[in-house]
Amino acid sequence: MELTFSKMTVDTSLAQEYLKKNEALSELYSDYDANVKKNPSRHGGVFKKVLGSYNDDETQNILWRLAANLKEKSELIAQLEYHIRKIPIEDTKTQLNVLIQYVKSFVGIKKDVIDNIKSDQHFSIGDPLLNLAQVVYMMVHKQHDYIILYTTTKEPVAICHLFVTLCHQAGVLCSQALTYEGRTFLIDPVQVVEAQQSFVIVEAYRTAKEVISILQQDEPHYLSLWINGIAQINEFTQNTNAAVVWVNNIGDIRGPPLVARALHPVLQDKYHSTTIFNEKNDRIAKLVKLSQPWSKMDLDSRRDILMNVLQKYMLSDPQNLDYTHVRKSLLNLTSESFVQTGKDYTCTGLWKPAGFIALPATEWSLSLAVTLALQGNALVFYSLETPSKVPNVELLEAAGVPVVHVESCPSKPITPGLRGPTRTLQVIWTNSGTIFAN
């Protein structure tokens, strides 16, 4: 007996109507093989003066409106993804919900503790909802006067076109700057490329030591552990830097908006002083030694030490009014870790230091040093071409704070300045007691 299956009918009327109303998009999809593939060229859709012209309250209102706009258009976005890329409706809605949570996670953020970042404004659009999260991240950071997007396929164009429209409606100063044969797009399809195959690594293990070794070797971003035993859960989660950890679970995204920060990684360079500088250097060896106990301290313990150091700075230069600002920053910084529990899950968010951060000595400031150190980082200030003084850095070293100054250049060229996140968020979902591994 031959099995037959009824053809599934999915409503894409909203998507078809949207493409029909936007004639330029319809022409692109219908004429892609004939024109675009034969005349590839790179152009960019530009977000001009993104959010830099607004104060904090205006920025937060814009982000709330953008999140509301995305939610309102969720059905249209889901239909576009199915109509163009055959992505299941529910899958898109789930991913879109994470993007909306990601936008909301920046509302209310304190600008003085926001991660510093300098990055290339160009990146390719593959999965649009995943990459648009990076657009939101770059929009929030005022260093970016413009963001240029480009794509290597035609599929994301409609989603990106809709996204920039929703940004306009929310109040973001952005413009669709690309013109292709009289048609305007947010991004330009450059050429067709082979899609990268996604894969999931599945590893079996016999001992706790073995699984810890696997985690440290593979360094996954997403990790699903299937374990029976609270002790093992604690041991494994403390020995992995994975940003997302599911225990006896996978794919859970429940929790506060902040969880989207871990689910949507921002791929930026991190500079580690131990790999940039000669590890045999006495100063670097001292930094590594100081960093180990420092990173394991709780926030309040680090704060107490830094406050004592600040008191010594104030005694050495009582006329310096900047110390009041530094003291205020120390007192205001919180861990922002969280725990949310539901009927069948617990979601825990932990902020972890980025690790080792290298900065040119010319960028030394006490405020920057204590803020990064309070987050748990280790800092190395280095001289580039001419020696630069780092005032009273010995006071920090003597207190056990991992901050050193080396009067030598790195062993390989690097771009001066603070790059990459200064801390990372790890989110752990557990439902201990409900599911047990075989």
Q: Give which of 170, 125, 162, 130 is closest to 24, Cα–Cα.
A: 162
Give the number of residues written for the chain.
438
Tell me the C-alpha distance between 428 and 211, whole Å: 17
CB atoms within 10 A of CB 112: 12
Per-residue pLDDT of the chain (438 residues; tens, 9 = 90+): 677 666 778 899 999 999 888 766 665 566 555 544 444 433 333 333 444 455 667 778 888 898 999 999 999 999 999 998 888 999 999 989 988 988 888 765 544 333 333 333 444 555 777 777 777 776 666 554 555 555 556 677 788 778 877 887 887 755 443 444 444 444 434 333 444 555 677 777 778 888 888 888 887 888 988 887 778 888 888 888 888 999 988 888 898 888 888 887 654 444 444 445 566 667 778 888 888 889 888 889 999 999 998 888 887 777 776 777 788 888 888 777 889 988 888 899 988 887 788 877 777 788 888 888 998 988 888 776 555 566 678 888 888 899 888 776 555 444 444 455 677 889 999 876 444 433
Strand, helix or coil for residue 297: coil
d(CA 217, CA 200): 16
Is 46:139 a contact under the CB 8 Å cutoff?
no
Which residues make Cβ contacts (< 8 Å) with residue 192, sequence separation at least 6?
A: 37, 152, 153
Give the pair of three-digit tokens for residue 282: 């006495």
For helices 74-85 and 157-170, what crossing angle results, to 10°? 160
Q: Which two tokens stand for residue 99?
A: 């993007």
Residue boundaries of the structural domains of the chain: 13-185, 199-266+426-438, 273-339+350-420
Q: Could you tell me whether strands 222-225 and 244-247 are parallel, antiparallel, or unpaired per DSSP bridges?
A: parallel
Determine contact, residues 399/375, Cβ cutoff 8 Å.
no
CA atoms within 13 A on the CB side of 244: 18
Task: Name the token pair of 46.
Answer: 């530009």
Nearest one of 372, 118, 404 to 273, comparing CA atoms: 404
Q: Is the pTM above the cut of 0.85?
A: no
What strands, in cross-sheet order, belong to the sheet with 346-353?
A: 222-225, 244-247, 423-430, 346-353, 338-341
What secondary structure does DSSP assign to 68-113, as a single string?
HHHHHTHHHHHHHHHHHH---HHHHHHHHHHHHHHHHHTTT--GGG
